[in-house]
A and B are shown apart, each in its own frame.
Chain A
Amino acid sequence: MSELRDLYQEMVLEHARSPRNHREMPPPCHHAAGHNPLCGDKLDVYVKLDASGQRIEDVSFRGQGCAISQASASLMTETLKGKSLPEALKLGDAVHQLMTQDDAEADGLGKLVIFQGVRAFPMRVKCATLAWHTLRAALGNEPSTEPIVSTE
């Protein structure tokens, strides 16, 4: 049960219960709809860049899903505000590695380090990465199966 406790840490449960930045963002913003067809989780991620177009001014999400996917999206939005685009994408990669690789570097991840607990539950990695994949799609850095809506 200790692995379970690592997965469902208090912070995860708290964010799942009261997700931060859980709101739709009016255009103009980057937006993508993420969907995990296996479990039916759906997530919309909205990103507003600053005037330079290189830094995240605001980021929010809407959606439904398990505690892991909701907490991951909530903590992602909390972490990303003010980050540059390369920093944001690097963080996404680091979180993914944290959840899938035993020797992953946890430095610089801040609160996101709690998702290390997902490593013992390979079936749940997709839940935790859905928000990050959707963010990537929203920023238009890789093709998404969902239409990428950008009105900027």
Chain B
Amino acid sequence: MSTCTTQTAASGRRLDPLLLRAEFPILEQMVHGHPLVYLDNAATTQKPRTVLEALERYYERDNANVHRGVHLLSQRATDAFEAARRKVARFVNASPQEIVFTRGTTEAVNLVAQSFGLQHVQRGDAVLVSHMEHHSNIVPWQLLCERVGAKLLVIPIDDRGVLELDALDRLLSPRVKLLGLVHASNALGTLNPVAEVIRRAHAHGIPVLLDGAQALPHAKVDVKALDVDFYACSAHKVYGPTGIGALYAKKQHLQAMPPWQGGGDMILSVSFAGSKWNEVPFKFEAGTPDIAGAIGFGAALDWVDSVGLGAIAAHEAELLAYATERVRELPHVRLIGTAPEKVGVLSFVFDDVHPHDVGTILDQQGVAVRTGHHCAQPVMERYGVPATVRASFAAYNTRADVDALVDGLRAVREMFRV
């Protein structure tokens, strides 16, 4: 199903957000007496009807455990689950054997840290991350480093929120056994030059993990073209359900890595003398997975394909430009994250009103934004703020949503009389 209305030379396709909105039942509601304006998409996106129906259909018709039964339902469930894996693989240009289903991006990073990391990082070694990481791409490496006696090194960022590539070059050394980098920053919106970073890291023989939670819904990801070693992502940031995500890993890595969780489905045979691991990716999927979630993930990617990722990205870029301009008109506002390459994330602070007060007042007007440190406390510290207000855009947002945000911010100023 395509909801695209017109063609343009620039983006290939153009989307009509008003048509798309009709596919998202949750957006029809009123909040505190106002129509819901949902601008917290970097936290989680809403789900289109096709995703909701895929979940319902699975539980109504096909529910059974996967890779186990010989009965028809088990076969249907397995087929749908594996079809979802192929959809994820196709979406990032990987082979299905290279896609491990996880609970989300966080679990995917932890898997790499606990399996590949423990195998390759030793006392005296280092793991390299950037200053703009989400906690989920910091803490798993800290846990690893503490355990083995390695060091966590940090690539600095400049005042705009751009990665300092010169500093990266100075940090690359034989001691570094892995580089973890966020593809797009949830707190700043920065879209990192990942191909260049990977090229430089690989020149030193350093494998690279990308945290793709924020990038997947906005930027075309081609793991082969990037030559990235690991790519972690979540379904719920890309119009799919919560609790399911994926790790892409090069097949040779997955084959060489030890399992990180033991249980059913990840083994070929078990005896008390020892067990044989299943082939990849099943070696990393112990226990009954979130089958419905995976199917919902696949349905979400189908939905994105039907709209067109390019059209979504172009639409969000327009909204971001418009919102940036409008918010800048307000007095006492400071944008946090002004990199030239950004996804649809607008983070800002007032110099005289705390983000939480802003969030409460916006909420009373039906405008949902995120306020807080966005699980990126080192970023907040870098800019000397305890928290920011963050508006983040998705395919279904409109210029009217941005206008509602700006009206809400004007009401904040009125309330605080500043």
The 8 Å CB contact of A124, one of B356, B415, B417, is: B356
Q: Is the CB of B361 within 8 A of A67?
A: no
Nearest CB of A to B164, in Å: 25
Q: Is the CB of B360 within 8 A of A121?
A: yes
Interface bracket on A: 20 to 34
Cα(A150)–Cα(B353), bound, Å: 34
Q: Is the CB of A40 within 8 A of B354?
A: no
Nearest CB of B to A64, in Å: 6
Cα(A4)–Cα(B361), bound, Å: 7
The 8 Å CB contact of B360, one of A13, A40, A124, is: A124
Q: Give A51-95 interface residues, CB cut-off 8 Å to B.
A: 64-68
Stretch of B40-48, B199-207, B341-349, B372-380 with 4 or more beta carbons under 8 angstroms from chain A: B372-380
Chain B: interface residue total (CB-CB under 8 A):
18
Q: Is A7 an interface residue (CB 8 A)?
A: yes
Q: Is A3 an interface residue (CB 8 A)?
A: yes
Q: A4-B415, A38-B372 are in contact. Are A68 and B364 (CB under 8 A)?
A: no
The 8 Å CB contact of A13, one of B361, B387, B416, is: B416
Cα(A38)–Cα(B416), bound, Å: 24
The 8 Å CB contact of A3, one of B364, B372, B417, is: B364
Nearest CB of B to A78, in Å: 21
Nearest CB of A to B13, in Å: 39
Cα(A3)–Cα(B360), bound, Å: 11
User: Which applies to chain A's interface (DSSP): helix, strand, loop or mixed?
Assistant: mixed
Q: Is B222 an interface residue (CB 8 A)?
A: no
Q: Collect the chain A residues with CB atoms within 8 Å of residue B361's CB.
A: 4, 8
Q: Is the CB of B387 within 8 A of A40?
A: yes
Q: Is the CB of B364 within 8 A of A4?
A: yes
Q: Is B318 an interface residue (CB 8 A)?
A: no
Q: Collect the chain A residues with CB atoms within 8 Å of residue B386's CB.
A: 39-42, 64-65
Nearest CB of B to A109, in Å: 23
Q: Is B357 an interface residue (CB 8 A)?
A: yes
Q: Is the CB of A8 within 8 A of B415?
A: yes
Q: Give A7-57 interface residues, CB cut-off 8 Å to B.
A: 7-8, 13, 38-42
Q: Is the CB of B354 within 8 A of A66?
A: yes
Nearest CB of A to B396, in Å: 25
Q: Is the CB of A39 within 8 A of B387?
A: yes
Nearest CB of A to B77, in Å: 38
From A40, A68, A121, residue with most partner B Cβ within 10 Å = A40
Nearest CB of B to A149, in Å: 23
From A39, A42, A121, A124, residue with most partner B Cβ within 10 Å = A39
The 8 Å CB contact of A68, one of B355, B357, B371, B380, is: B357
Cβ contacts B64-100/A at 8 Å (1 or 0 each):
0000000000000000000000000000000000000
Q: A4-B415, A39-B372, A39-B387 are in contact. Are A66 and B380 (CB under 8 A)?
A: no
Q: Is A127 an interface residue (CB 8 A)?
A: yes
Q: A39-B387, A40-B372 are in contact. Are A66 and B356 (CB under 8 A)?
A: yes
Q: Collect the chain A residues with CB atoms within 8 Å of residue B416's CB.
A: 8, 13, 67
Q: Collect the chain B residues with CB atoms within 8 Å of residue A4's CB.
A: 360-361, 364, 415
Q: Collect the chain A residues with CB atoms within 8 Å of residue B357's CB.
A: 8, 66-68
24 contacts between A and B (CB under 8 A): A3-B364, A4-B360, A4-B415, A7-B360, A8-B361, A8-B415, A8-B416, A13-B416, A13-B417, A38-B372, A40-B373, A40-B377, A40-B380, A40-B387, A42-B386, A65-B354, A65-B356, A66-B354, A66-B355, A66-B356, A67-B354, A121-B360, A124-B356, A127-B356
Residues of A within 8 A of B (CB): 1, 3-4, 7-8, 13, 38-42, 64-68, 121, 123-124, 127
